[in-house]
Each structure stands twice: as structure tokens, then as C-alpha cells.
């Protein structure tokens, strides 16, 4: 008589929770390690074996969670900090005042800076991607950056009383974005010259508030410029 096959004993609920927790942590550790190495050495010069060793993981874990090196890189690029200003609902709703909209946009943009070294690594990764493109940067421009920019342009048009965005509205939108980008691009310089400006989440929040002041002033200058041009046209014979 053949032996009755034994059925696997399902894990207890507590064991399931532990497995899920361990899996999330293992995946997160691989992401953090890969971010550091990819940002330092680039995609081509970083091996999955090196990442697994530095993360204290089996190389098979990379295949399990990400498929391959390209899948891991894609996850690092898209998941490490989230996308700056990717929550358009923070600044696009019609009921928001100009200041509220700018605060939502700029606040969401600089939020990743509160993660310290991770933000610097992510910035370096983006620079590497632009210098040594794999195609992800172009994809992010289409999927995330263009929609966010278009939403900001729409907000500016609304508060400037413009029905259709012209080049000056586009310039204004890029300039406002540049205020926040400066904090990422110049992070190491700021840290060397005046570290207390970005040393804590509270300091970053204070700088963000100042950015909103500066952005409001930029919008006011553009509004005044347009009004002056309109008045000049009216006075011409």
C-alpha cells in the first residue's frame, strides 16, 4: 500500500506576517544598497553579485524580487524616494490660493531631502542616468515630469489670468521648479558652506517656506510685467 503523501502544514498567521515583514525588509535592503552602488559606479560597472554581497543577501534574491539587474535598477530609479512633485493633487485643485498651490508643489518637491544621504545618492543616480542613459530618464520625463510641469503651468495661467500658456509662463514654471532643484543640485555645496540650512527636517521646511515667498514674488513680477505691457498697448495711438 503506497504511503499517503504528507500535506504541507500551513504557517500560522504570525509566521505569515513574519515572512512578509522579512521579505519587505530584504527587498528594501537590496534597493538601498543598489541605490548607493549604482549612484557611485553607474549601471554598467555595478554587478548584481556586488550588490548582493554588500546587502548581505543571496544573489538569487535579486532574481526573486526584481527579475534581473535591469529590473533592480528600474526599481531603484522609480521607488527609492518616490518622484518629486508626483502628487499633482497637492497643487492643482481650483480652490487653492496661489500660495497654497506653490506650497503644495514646492513642499512635495523637496520632501525627499528629509531622507538625508538617500536624497544625495538619488540625485547622483539621476545625473549618472543623464550622462550614461539607459532610457529610464526619458521615460520619467514623459510619465512624471511633463505632467507635473503641465499642472504647474495650468496653475500659473489661472492665477495670471492667462487663457493659454505662452513662453513666458513656461519660463516662469521652469524657474519656480529651479528654486527647488537648487537644493538637490547644490546639496553638497550647501552642506559645506552653511550646513544648518539643510541639517534637519525643520530647517528644510523653513527653506521651503522661503521658496514659496520667492516663487510668489516671481509670479507677481510676471503679472506686473504683463499688466504694464497691456497698459502700454492701450496708450499707443
pLDDT beyond 70 at 2:
no
Ordered structural domains, the chain, with CATH? 13-79 (1.10.10.60), 88-235 (1.10.357.10)
Model confidence over 101-158: pLDDT tens digits? 999 999 999 988 988 888 888 888 988 888 888 888 888 889 889 999 999 999 999 9
- 117-131 and 69-79 helices cross at what angle (nearest 10)? 120
Q: What is the pTM of this model?
A: 0.80
Q: What is the mean pLDDT of residues 68-79?
A: 92
R_g (Cα) of the chain, nearest Å:
24
Q: What is the mean pLDDT of residues 226-237?
A: 86
pLDDT at residue number 8 = 41
pLDDT at residue number 22 = 64
pLDDT beyond 90 at 57:
yes
pLDDT at residue number 81 = 59
Q: How many alpha carbons lie under 13 Å from residue 126 in its C-beta half-sphere? A: 20
Q: How far apart are CA 90 and CA 139, in angstroms?
A: 23
Amino acid at each position: 500500500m503506497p504511503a499517503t503523501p504528507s500535506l504541507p502544514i500551513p504557517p500560522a498567521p504570525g509566521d505569515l506576517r513574519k515572512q512578509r515583514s522579512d521579505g519587505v525588509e530584504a527587498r528594501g535592503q537590496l534597493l538601498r544598497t543598489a541605490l548607493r552602488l549604482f549612484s557611485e559606479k553607474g549601471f554598467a560597472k555595478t554587478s548584481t553579485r556586488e550588490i548582493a554581497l554588500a546587502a548581505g543577501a543571496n544573489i538569487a534574491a535579486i532574481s526573486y524580487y526584481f527579475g534581473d539587474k535591469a529590473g533592480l535598477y528600474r526599481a531603484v530609479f522609480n521607488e527609492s524616494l518616490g518622484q518629486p512633485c508626483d502628487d499633482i493633487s497637492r497643487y492643482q485643485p481650483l480652490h487653492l490660493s496661489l500660495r497654497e498651490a506653490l506650497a503644495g508643489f514646492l513642499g512635495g518637491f523637496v520632501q525627499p531631502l528629509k531622507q538625508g544621504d538617500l536624497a544625495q545618492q538619488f540625485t547622483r543616480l539621476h545625473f549618472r542616468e543623464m550622462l550614461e542613459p539607459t532610457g529610464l530618464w526619458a521615460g520619467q520625463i514623459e510619465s512624471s515630469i511633463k505632467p507635473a510641469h503641465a499642472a504647474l503651468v495650468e496653475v500659473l495661467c489661472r492665477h495670471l489670468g492667462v487663457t493659454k500658456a505662452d513662453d513666458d509662463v513656461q519660463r516662469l514654471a521652469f524657474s519656480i521648479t529651479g528654486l527647488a532643484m537648487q537644493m538637490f543640485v547644490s546639496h553638497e555645496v550647501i552642506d559645506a558652506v552653511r550646513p544648518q540650512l539643510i541639517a534637519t527636517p525643520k530647517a528644510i521646511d523653513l527653506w521651503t517656506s522661503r521658496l514659496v515667498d520667492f516663487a510668489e514674488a516671481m509670479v507677481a513680477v510676471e503679472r506686473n510685467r504683463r499688466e504694464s505691457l497691456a497698459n502700454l498697448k492701450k496708450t499707443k495711438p
